[in-house]
Structure 1
Amino acid sequence: MIKVGKYFKHSISVSTVLVAIALSSTAKAQVDETDSTITEEASKSSGGLSEIVVTAQKREQNAQSVGIAITALGSESLVRLQMVAATDLARVASNVTLSGSYGGQMSQFTIRGVTQNDFNDHVEPVIAVYVDEGYVAFANSQGAGMFDLDHVEVLKGPQGTLFGRNSTGGLVQLVTKKPTDFVDGYVDATIASYNNVRLEGALGGPITDSIRGRIAGYFERYDGWVKNKYPEETFVPAEFQSGLGTAGDLPGKGADLAGIKGQWAIRGQVEADLSDSVDFWASAYYTKMIASTGPYQQVPTVAILDADGNQINEIYASPTNICQAIQDGVCVHGLYAPGDPAGTTRPVPGADYYGYLDPDGSGPITSSDYAFDNADTSASYGANVKFTVDLGSDITFTSFSDYKHFDKDFSLDLEAGPQNQFFWHGISDEDSFSQELRLNGRSGDLTWVTGAYFLKIKNASTHGIGALPGSSYPFPAWDQPRIARLDSKSYSLFGQVEYTISPSLAVIGGLRGSREVKDYDFEVLFVYPNTGLDPFHFDYAPTAEFPGFYQDPYHDHSSETLWNWKAQLNWTPADRLLFYAGVTQGAKAGSYNSGGPMDVESIPYKAERLISYEVGVKSELFDRKIRLNAAAFYYDYHDYQAARWLGVSSQILNAEAYIYGGEVELTAVPSDTLEISLNGGYQKSLVEDVPVGAGLKDVHTTFAPNFTLSGYVRYTLPQEIAGGQLALQVSGNYQSSVWHNLNNFDANKLDAWGILNLRGEWTSPDERFRFAVFANNVLNNYYDTIGFDTAQLNGSNLVAQGKPRWIGANLRYSFGQ
């Protein structure tokens, strides 16, 4: 018996699954033989729906012929919808949202409620991101800028059979534009609110008769839109300001937040025909970002404790509340914040422990001392090499090599206010290398792919809290670095087959076995005294004991075998109509916690395993004027890696969980001048028996709204305007409330929100020039996207907002064929 949730069960024998896999030899999906070569741009003038070629099954196929729930956007749609960062995809794909940390500067995808709400640098995300087949192993890089892309693919559900690495809930694949045998390119310039400037361009073409190249890059900057009133205004009553302390003489303190001082990237490619049967492609890139301190703001909260002092809930502080906490139903004081200027209570009802009350709640005004416009930096570089060899008899060999390096230095004001209490700091240095060898083949009704994969990741990271001189803590200055080093190796063999039983019926099966090997070192130090003169870098000496944390270094070596498999049936009863049903298992390796304090036995956690049951339909109707795709899913999670935050420390533990839901994506082109898209998703989750206080609690997964809705309407005026075409576009997206902490305390919920965007676009007759004006979040809604629970540290939660109203103009010139 395989357990399905807490309330009902399905009876599925292991032998049945194995037989299904054995019989499921793969054949090419019936409708991709002719349509897969039609791109979005090639078909946009045909009067029907655009089509996108995807590589979701390690071969080129029309997205509509693949029995996977896919949101695919071509380069034209990316421009129209202003997709400039990978995380923008959450605005258009149903049941896709974001989780994050550092005020949203570090973001990860959540697909169908599957997420990893632990942001320590050695923890890989559960939603994989690939760029040109290269795995992005670093969670910090998921929000990287997008430029010069051919298309993007958001694949929902476990993809471990073919992609393997941490794609339990799905993956996002970015595919760049490749060099062409003719000169082409573009230049693109945007100016917008908050002194936003974005420049982007690309140039490609032939170098010799058999060699082609392409170079592309972008630059962007904008001012902080969270206006910081510190030090002129602290929003603390005058009688309590003397107890705030000071951030010292740190240069640039009190800067506006949420700004990007500079973000840029460059990428070069070369492609060569080495012979009639051998192709070569290589790519290299470099990217860097300089940004403000993590742009958190503050919402005062009150911890609810049981009789033994365990936190069991949390509420927002009321305008009349002076309790530091409520214990066993009684208002209590003086439990935390030794430097509280009032001594025993909140000095101001409804404020934090220091009397600070953000003047506009979730608005764009704050007062934060530890705030700098250039404190957070990250950089990454890497290269790919790919050989493709045609072996004849419809067999192709591919070798793909990928190397990436990433480093970061991030910080934030841990109480997000004018009080000099604590700052949070994280640095990391990471390298990854992967090698895939793959064979693709086809023989009659059988299509197959098999291969081997190796991945090595070296991660060295340090994170923790610190206090500057003059802080409210009893010690004048100190750091508490938590040092983690994780070396991971993964070895995989995989295969997937598709067999066409009849012209309308195909079975698919796949299997991947992976061997994961990890070496982990971890240590928590307490550095005291610290001069505090260099708060952006940890000083490891001298060290002193800090009660509650283990001072002895922790080391562990582990190895385990993971299995991913897939069994599916595709039925195509008519042209452009596909039904699919399947069972898929995805797995993510176990790893290690780096929070504290905790028992040594709690540092490692086990691998998680997700079994997905999914049915779906893909259709194009009325002479390809309407595309309607829908899917329903049920996820049975075993040893779900449940990440929860306990103050400023996180801990992942294993729990049973289930998620179910569905989504519908509708696109229609009722005429040559009108295009409509509407995407909706619903999901529900339960994680069983999560420790909360001294007991166990059933909770919902984090950053997983029950409802998501997005769409756009685009109308092109039939008559010419100034010799060209004018298009008007309205777009928007909505998500219901989410929990930002697995504890699901009352004050851990972020409210539902929605935004509306407007765009007007003029295109010249030859389609070379494009000029657009836009207003994103035109109603200027204030909404919170990220949260962090610090109720027992300073009597507040930290929240980060989405962008306010953003008005601008864009000019694009394209050249070449």
Structure 2
Amino acid sequence: MAPIHPATGLQRRQLSAAVLLATLATGATVAHAQLEEVVVTAQKRAQSANDVGITINAFTGDQLRDFGVLTAEDIAMLTPGLTVNETAATGVPLYTIRGVGFQDYSTAASSTVGIYFDEVAMPYTVMTRGLVFDTERVEVLKGPQGDLYGRNTTAGQINFISNKPTREFGAGATASYGSYSTWDLEGFVTGGNDLAQGRLAFKTIQSSKGWQKSATRDDKLGEKDATALRGIVNLDISDTVRLMLSTHYVKDDSENKANTAYGGTPFGLGEFTNPYTPLDEYLLPTGSNFGETPPWYSTGDNEVADWTNNYTSPITGKTFNIRPRRDNELTGFAARLEWDIGSMTLTSVTGYNEFEREEANDWDGGFYNDSSNINTTDLEVFSQELRLSGDTGPVNWVGGLYYAKDEMDEYYHYFMSDSVFGFGSIPWGVDLFAATPILELDTKYSQETESAAVFGHVEWQFTDAWRLTLGARYTEEDRDWAGCTFVAEDGSLGNFLNANFGANLGPGDCGTINDDPTSPDYIFAVIGTPRVNDAFQVYEDSISTDRWMGKVGLDYSLNDDLLMYGMVSVGFKSGGFNGANSNTTQQLTPYDEEKLTSYEVGMKATLLEGRMQLNAATFFYDYEDKQEQDTAVTFVGNISGLTNVPESEITGAEVDLKWQPVTGLNVNLGVAWLDTEVTKWNAVDPVQSSWPVTVRRDVSGIELAQAPEWSYAGLVSYEWPLANGLVLEVAGDVSFTDDTTGGVSPEDATEDYTLFNARLGVGSADGQWRALVWTRNLTDEDYYPAAYTGGNGPFVRSYGMPRTVGITLNYNFGQ
């Protein structure tokens, strides 16, 4: 795909905007048309979304189903200002809201965006990839929400709220069949009595045909096999006590997506980051295909990629299945107790989740083995929240305690035989590795985190028009980490270290070099002595954080239909550790906590006698010590590192419009604009730095990664009655995401893209049944929401799905 020039991107934005505006201009007004009120629980109590003085994007379960939302990551399609990407093929999605995100692919990295399922936090994003189903609504809260939400985050929250049990019997089923032989079946049953009510829901997605085609052989990738279950029981124990128990289970045995490799020269990059085989056959004059384009390169077909299926060690003879795939299992339990005590309510929310996986991914986008990995993860997360709330006339208040503990063990087996660190060093003449190439690595680490907090939130309606909001939270968090990159069974890492340092390391020994000059085991203090093996050791460290955060907000209701609000809020995210393959201990030293201060003003206006809702906000973020990727300067070269960016700023504005010009016609439009800048940062210069000397460069003025200047999402739908009690509906939506610079890593930059979807349906007027034909990515846009270095050497892109079409049938029983 040729690069998109600025004029082309502008023309596409103008065309999409013109389509929406033309639709807006055609509506006549009818007095009886009125928008449905959206009720949210963003501030731990039920409120109209129009009465809450914060920026919220809320979506109903029906909307999620119509948009084809299957996972938490898909919410980004509907939400301007929210992006979900990846920086490596490790199975870890990275959430960013308004340019606030953490571009780290480690499983142990906590997100800047809090993800909550029925009030229970999922602090590690790898746990959030399960299916989204039987959902009442999703709330996207933008900006720091540190007073009421338990795990420290700086960007905002995404709350998923499940459908709850009912006393009346009800059941329903939805079945879909679409491109690539994909079946999607979802259903629920609910009912009960005055004492107990229950709900059981399930969803399964099955596809026997992959959508990605190998660039070099007859092979396809992308089969799906995922199933999810949820059971909820609600007990009305008395007039004042209610208990809700829930459990969920997700099993995912699908194939993962592969990357697409490309040469970087046409895009202002080098041909590669590091050389690898078999690229030498095409780029070196001695190569058998010198001057030809490598057959695994692709930039013009979103279905073309490549990957490695198997690797056999030339040393041990052992064969590994490294075809991109996942075997993920999530099991969870939650209990929510409500006890009315006079005019107050005591609420207890207890959550426990256990996540296990064995997952293979291919980073390099080729049939060769420059970078592939198998992740084995065991995660346990427990949380407990107790809160007391009340409503005393003009004052609503809530106060509480929060505790969380999680334990993680990660085993990260890495394959790199064709990289410049392995056999690729030989044709490219890299003598450091040619004699003793490194073929496999075993990275293992464990992390234990314990967090406790006390919080309070008060809303005071001190006049009919004015409301003051005050919130504060004090958090203490301790994180213990221990890890190392070990010599794998093939012994190749040990052979390399032994040859270069005179050590005596074998399979199972730690191979991370102590390069801390203050340590008694510093490599240059023990090299040449009998203690040289002491310089290769498991790195262990602990970090502790204790900090206040909070908010001050002021709302002004000009009348029942217009709310003006201003908010100053402060959030923080605690520090952490680098879970990547490590060559030296200083690569593993912890990064510090980050802090964000937000200044936001906005309005929420209900217009045209309830037929239009117009919300707008503008904000400024003062971002201190942002956690970010950087280069780690090590003995083997400059590899993956993490750091803190001292000072950054983000300015932005958002508009959200919902309009029902006539009964049955709905128009939604959301637009977000961002201006981000790093104002102070001396980043590592990867060209000038060579271990043990690190050279830095001033990169002030660059934009933050994953911060598109413009993004928007628009929807037009129309529903009208037919004869015989039928209803016909037609809908189309468009979403646009601007290009990004990649921040300090230009290879992470992405181009702008626009996606169109369309739906046509017919159903009964009473909502009992419905049939829908749909298409997603109508124009078959070649787009990639993520790009990065493919492990050791190649540049790669992670493409989105091509055009898909399908049909959905829905039938409801009872209710």
TM over 0.5: yes
Check conservation: 1:85, 1:144, Cα contact below 8 A. Answer: yes
Inter-CA distance 548–104: structure 2 relative to 1 (3 Å threshold): closer
Partners of 1:411 and 1:69 in 2: CA distance: 38
Per-residue deviation at 1:642? 1.6
What is the correspondence of 1:294-309 to structure 2 with a 5 Å cutoff?
Answer: 294-301=257-264
Partners of 1:340 and 1:528 in 2: CA distance: 28
Secondary structure of 2:388's partner? strand
Per-residue deviation at 1:83? 2.4
Residue 522 (structure 1) aligns with:
483
Partners of 2:423 and 2:272 in 1: CA distance: 20
1:732 to 728, 731, 734: 734
Partners of 2:54 and 2:275 in 1: CA distance: 53
Residue 650 (structure 2) aligns with:
659
Partners of 1:639 and 1:421 in 2: CA distance: 33
1:369 to 308, 312, 331: 308
Residue 689 (structure 1) aligns with:
681
Q: Does 1:620 align with 2:620?
A: no
Secondary structure of 1:623's partner? helix
1:638 to 624, 641, 649: 624
What is the correspondence of 1:776-815 to structure 2 with a 5 Å cutoff?
Answer: 776-790=776-790, 793-794=792-793, 796-815=794-813
Secondary structure of 2:780's partner? coil
Letter in 1 for 2:571: G
What is the correspondence of 1:229-268 to structure 2 with a 5 Å cutoff?
Answer: 229-231=215-217, 255-257=219-221, 259-268=222-231
Partners of 2:749 and 2:440 in 1: CA distance: 31
Check conservation: 1:51, 1:62, Cα contact below 8 A. Answer: yes
Residue 66 (structure 2) aligns with:
80
1:541 to 498, 507, 511: 507
Q: Deviations over 1:306-353 (max 9, x none)?
A: xxxxxxxx8346xxxxx778xxxxxxxx9766994479569567878x
1:679 to 652, 657, 670: 670
Q: Deviations over 1:776-796 (max 9, x none)?
A: 1111111111112149x33x3
Residue 689 (structure 2) aligns with:
none
Structure-2-length-normalised TM-score: 0.82
Check conservation: 2:571, 2:597, Cα contact below 8 A. Answer: yes
Letter in 2 for 1:667: K
Partners of 1:350 and 1:501 in 2: CA distance: 76
Secondary structure of 1:594's partner? coil
Partners of 1:591 and 1:105 in 2: CA distance: 19
1:720 to 715, 719, 722: 722
2:268 to 293, 300, 315: 315
Q: Which consecutive residues of structure 1, in runs of 5 or more, have no partner in the other structure?
A: 1-44, 233-254, 304-313, 318-322, 326-333, 533-539
Check conservation: 2:188, 2:200, Cα contact below 8 A. Answer: yes
Residue 311 (structure 1) aligns with:
none
Per-residue deviation at 1:517? 1.0
Residue 743 (structure 1) aligns with:
744
1:286 to 235, 249, 262: 249
Per-residue deviation at 1:228? 1.5
Residue 499 (structure 2) aligns with:
none
Residue 38 (structure 2) aligns with:
52
Residue 707 (structure 2) aligns with:
704
Partners of 1:628 and 1:544 in 2: CA distance: 59
1:424 to 368, 373, 392: 373
Q: Does 1:402 align with 2:351?
A: yes
Partners of 2:387 and 2:268 in 1: CA distance: 54
Partners of 2:173 and 2:770 in 1: CA distance: 11
Check conservation: 1:771, 1:810, Cα contact below 8 A. Answer: yes
Check conservation: 2:484, 2:537, Cα contact below 8 A. Answer: yes
Q: Does 1:446 align with 2:395?
A: yes
Residue 341 (structure 2) aligns with:
391
Partners of 1:290 and 1:351 in 2: CA distance: 38
Partners of 2:78 and 2:194 in 1: CA distance: 41
Check conservation: 2:513, 2:583, Cα contact below 8 A. Answer: no
Check conservation: 2:619, 2:653, Cα contact below 8 A. Answer: yes
1:433 to 375, 382, 386: 382
Residue 306 (structure 1) aligns with:
none
Q: Deviations over 1:135-177 (max 9, x none)?
A: 0122113333211111110000001110031331100000001
What is the correspondence of 1:122-141 to structure 2 with a 5 Å cutoff?
Answer: 122-141=108-127
Q: Deviations over 1:410-455 (max 9, x none)?
A: 2223321122333233221111100000001111211100000000
Residue 308 (structure 1) aligns with:
none
Letter in 2 for 1:672: T
Partners of 1:626 and 1:690 in 2: CA distance: 48
Identity percentage of aligned residues: 27
Per-residue deviation at 1:108? 2.9
Inter-CA distance 82–414: structure 2 relative to 1 (3 Å threshold): closer
Check conservation: 1:710, 1:734, Cα contact below 8 A. Answer: yes
Partners of 2:729 and 2:609 in 1: CA distance: 24
Letter in 1 for 2:261: Q
Partners of 1:476 and 1:225 in 2: CA distance: 35
Partners of 2:353 and 2:130 in 1: CA distance: 13
Q: Deviations over 1:65-102 (max 9, x none)?
A: 00010001122322332322222211111211112255
Partners of 2:45 and 2:286 in 1: CA distance: 62
Per-residue deviation at 1:526? 2.5
Check conservation: 1:504, 1:572, Cα contact below 8 A. Answer: yes
Letter in 2 for 1:724: L
Q: Deviations over 1:687-735 (max 9, x none)?
A: 2314141312123222111100111101123x40564110110111001
Q: Does 1:111 align with 2:97?
A: yes
Q: Does 1:379 align with 2:326?
A: no
Q: Deviations over 1:467-495 (max 9, x none)?
A: 46996465677421222211010010000
Inter-CA distance 46–56: structure 2 relative to 1 (3 Å threshold): farther
Partners of 1:407 and 1:359 in 2: CA distance: 34
Partners of 1:191 and 1:690 in 2: CA distance: 52
Per-residue deviation at 1:46? 7.3
Partners of 1:350 and 1:118 in 2: CA distance: 36
What is the correspondence of 1:145-184 to structure 2 with a 5 Å cutoff?
Answer: 145-184=131-170
Partners of 1:204 and 1:375 in 2: CA distance: 35
Check conservation: 1:479, 1:527, Cα contact below 8 A. Answer: yes
Partners of 1:802 and 1:553 in 2: CA distance: 39
Check conservation: 1:102, 1:295, Cα contact below 8 A. Answer: no
Per-residue deviation at 1:105? 4.8
Secondary structure of 1:421's partner? coil
Check conservation: 2:510, 2:538, Cα contact below 8 A. Answer: no
Letter in 1 for 2:569: T
Check conservation: 2:371, 2:790, Cα contact below 8 A. Answer: no
Residue 513 (structure 1) aligns with:
474
Check conservation: 1:525, 1:551, Cα contact below 8 A. Answer: no
Q: Does 1:190 align with 2:171?
A: no
Inter-CA distance 376–46: structure 2 relative to 1 (3 Å threshold): farther
Check conservation: 1:105, 1:294, Cα contact below 8 A. Answer: no
Inter-CA distance 777–103: structure 2 relative to 1 (3 Å threshold): farther
Per-residue deviation at 1:229? 4.5
Q: Does 1:574 align with 2:559?
A: yes
Inter-CA distance 294–690: structure 2 relative to 1 (3 Å threshold): farther
Q: Deviations over 1:124-143 (max 9, x none)?
A: 11100100000012211333
Letter in 1 for 2:440: D
Letter in 2 for 1:212: Q
Partners of 1:46 and 1:486 in 2: CA distance: 58
Per-residue deviation at 1:797? 1.0
Letter in 1 for 2:410: S
Partners of 1:658 and 1:351 in 2: CA distance: 45
Per-residue deviation at 1:744? 3.6
Check conservation: 2:728, 2:762, Cα contact below 8 A. Answer: yes
Check conservation: 1:102, 1:412, Cα contact below 8 A. Answer: no
Between Structure 1 and Structure 2, how many residues are aligned? 712
